[in-house]
Amino acid sequence: MGTVSTKFDSSGDDGARRADGEADGLRKAAHLDICIDEKQFDVESGSSGFEEVRFLHRALPEVSEPDIRTATDFLGHPVRLPLFISSMTGGSDHGYNVNKELARAAQACGIPVGMGSIRIIFRKPEVIEHFQLKRYAPDVPVFANIGGVQLIEMDHNVVYEGMKRLEVQGIAVHLNPGQELFQPEGDRDFRGIAEATARFAEGSPVPVLVKETGFGIDPISAHMLLESGAQYIDVAGAGGTNWVQVERHRLSGAAGEAAEEFRAWGIATAPLLGALRALGVPGERLLASGGVRNGLDICKALALGAHSVGLALPFIRAVHAGGYEAVTELIGRYEKVLRSAMVLSGCVTLGEFATATLLTSSAFREQRDALIDAGRTVF
Ligand SMILES: Cc1cc2nc3c(=O)[nH]c(=O)nc-3n(C[C@H](O)[C@H](O)[C@H](O)COP(=O)(O)O)c2cc1C
């Protein structure tokens, strides 16, 4: 599990903590290399289920395109679009450059931006600069990131102090038990995360959102998290980046073959959103991500009841291909699709769009209903 500072400062660094910090940085850099090299590394698997959902096209929309309103809020702050850049990187030089480009694009487009886990700054404090995205995105919400499993052992005041230094508007607590199990150095004990997250949320100076990392948050866990103080849930479901497959590229032999068996693991994002809304999770607390790959996927997630929609892999690949310009271009494309789909569904506001009529396949309804059944005991 490694060593974490109980003090947020670089004095008194012990060798073990620094070594853990170096290992964190190398691992994050390797993840980034794997995720951007589409030709060599296959990191996506399964289906997010958005292809099982269609909008009811309105031949007479009775809507004027310039009237469309896409502005909303994120973590209580106004934003221009219901879209966010998911938590990704920091802790390596490459990660720092990626963060700068993402933050500049977020600022230009008026959308929120996340960052990768800040655990490394408590082990290797000089890399805090990699996470100071506020310099590049002063007018949009910026949110930090930390692992739920780390909250069990860390001094929460140290994390709050780091968050204050980064001037963030929120923090995402990530759940990634699948990935940890396939990291040779990963955590193996996942007891107590909900309780630690509840304690953390209670003292947090900014809102806490809890996210998965590509396998989805099942209804029972979502209920536990919402009851224990998480203000927002980002389902981060299956169908996009699969972190066991990312780890597979760093494994060999039987461990790699075991990872291969988890290609189809996880809860597809689209039916999961449908189930959580049907079970009564308030739309304003529900965020969507995981396998969102185009503008229409964003629209479908919104119409399934998510407040805002996040993407990770498409943005990191856009940075790699063309830096800040490619990211802003991609966001521009998503905006065009969103505005057009709102018109063609006869909706002017995001509130109307959240209840747009959807035509769903029987496969979608089967999965959604099974998830609703799985959550009935707690909701
Ligand atoms: C290069 C890369 C690094 C990531 N690092 C983090 C991280 O540090 N913390 C986290 O919560 N999620 C991390 N994620 C997971 C994403 O936030 C997201 O939940 C997941 O990739 C699924 O979304 P996607 O299918 O759009 O990629 C990372 C994703 C990528 C592609």
In this structure, are strands 53-55 and 358-360 parallel, antiparallel, or unpaired? Answer: antiparallel
Position 58 in a domain: yes
Q: Which residue has the tokens 């500072």?
A: 5
Total domains in the chain come to: 1
The CA distance from 112 to 102, in Å, is 10
Ligand 1 center–CA 88 separation, angstroms:
5
Q: Residue 8: pLDDT band by 50, 70, 90 thresholds?
A: low
Position 12 in a domain: no
Ligand 1 pocket by C-beta < 6 Å: which residues? Answer: 31-32, 35, 86-89, 116-117, 145, 172, 174, 211, 213-214, 236, 240-241, 289-292, 311-313, 316
Kindly report, residue by residue over 72-117, the tens digit of the pLDDT.
999 999 999 999 999 999 999 999 999 999 999 999 999 999 999 9
Ligand 1 center–CA 65 separation, angstroms:
34
Q: Average pLDDT over the chain, rounded to whole?
A: 95
Q: According to the model, what pLDDT value does residue 10 have?
A: 46
Q: Residue 15: pLDDT band by 50, 70, 90 thresholds?
A: confident
Ligand 1 center–CA 86 separation, angstroms:
6
The domain of 136 spans 41-375
Ligand 1 center–CA 62 separation, angstroms:
39
Q: Residue 12: pLDDT band by 50, 70, 90 thresholds?
A: low
Position 1 in a domain: no
Ligand 1 center–CA 289 separation, angstroms:
10
CB atoms within 10 A of CB 67: 10
**Residue nearest ligand 1's atom 8 by CA:** 116
Average pLDDT over residues 122-136: 96
Q: Which of 123-127, 207-211, 343-347 has the lowest mean pLDDT?
A: 123-127
Q: According to the model, what pLDDT value does residue 226 have?
A: 96
**Residue 311, C-beta contacts closer than 8 angstroms, at least 6 positions apart:** 83, 85, 86, 289, 292, 293, 298
**Residue nearest ligand 1's atom 5 by CA:** 88
Ligand 1 center–CA 311 separation, angstroms:
8
Position 146 in a domain: yes
**Residue nearest ligand 1's atom 30 by CA:** 88
Average pLDDT over residues 245-274: 97
**Residue 169, C-beta contacts closer than 8 angstroms, at least 6 positions apart:** 75, 76, 77, 112, 141, 142, 143, 206, 207
Position 232 in a domain: yes
Q: According to the model, what pLDDT value does residue 18 have?
A: 84
Q: Which atom of ligand 1 is nearest to the CA of 90?
A: 8
Residue with the larger pLDDT of the pair 8 and 208? 208
The CA distance from 303 to 309, in Å, is 11
Position 323 in a domain: yes
Q: According to the model, what pLDDT value does residue 181 have?
A: 98
Q: Residue 7: pLDDT band by 50, 70, 90 thresholds?
A: low
Find out whether 83 and 370 touch, Cβ atoms under 8 Å: no
Average pLDDT over residues 296-305: 98
> What residue type is assigned to position 27 of the chain?
R
Q: Which of 50, 88, 327 to mutate to test the pocket of ligand 1 (most atoms within 8 A of CB)?
A: 88
Residue 9 predicted with pLDDT over 60: no
Please state, for a pLDDT cut of 90, what percent of the chain lies above it.
94
Position 176 in a domain: yes
**Residue nearest ligand 1's atom 12 by CA:** 87
Q: Residue 39: pLDDT band by 50, 70, 90 thresholds?
A: very high
Find out whether 174 and 287 touch, Cβ atoms under 8 Å: no
Residue 5 predicted with pLDDT over 70: no
Q: What is the CATH number of the domain that holds 252?
A: 3.20.20.70
**Residue 368, C-beta contacts closer than 8 angstroms, at least 6 positions apart:** 271, 272, 274, 275, 278, 360
pTM: 0.96
Residue 297 predicted with pLDDT over 80: yes
Q: 127, 123, 115, 187: which is closest to 152 by C-alpha? A: 187
Q: 312, 271, 265, 260: which is closest to 289 by C-alpha? A: 312
Ligand 1 center–CA 247 separation, angstroms:
13
Residue 6 predicted with pLDDT over 60: no
Position 263 in a domain: yes
Q: 177, 222, 195: which is closest to 371 by C-alpha? A: 222
Residue 233 predicted with pLDDT over 60: yes
Residue 1 predicted with pLDDT over 90: no
Helix (H, G, I), strand (E, B) or coil at 308: strand
Q: In angstroms, what is the C-alpha Rg of the chain? A: 20
**Residue nearest ligand 1's atom 20 by CA:** 213
Residue 11 predicted with pLDDT over 80: no
Average pLDDT over residues 209-232: 97
CB atoms within 10 A of CB 253: 7
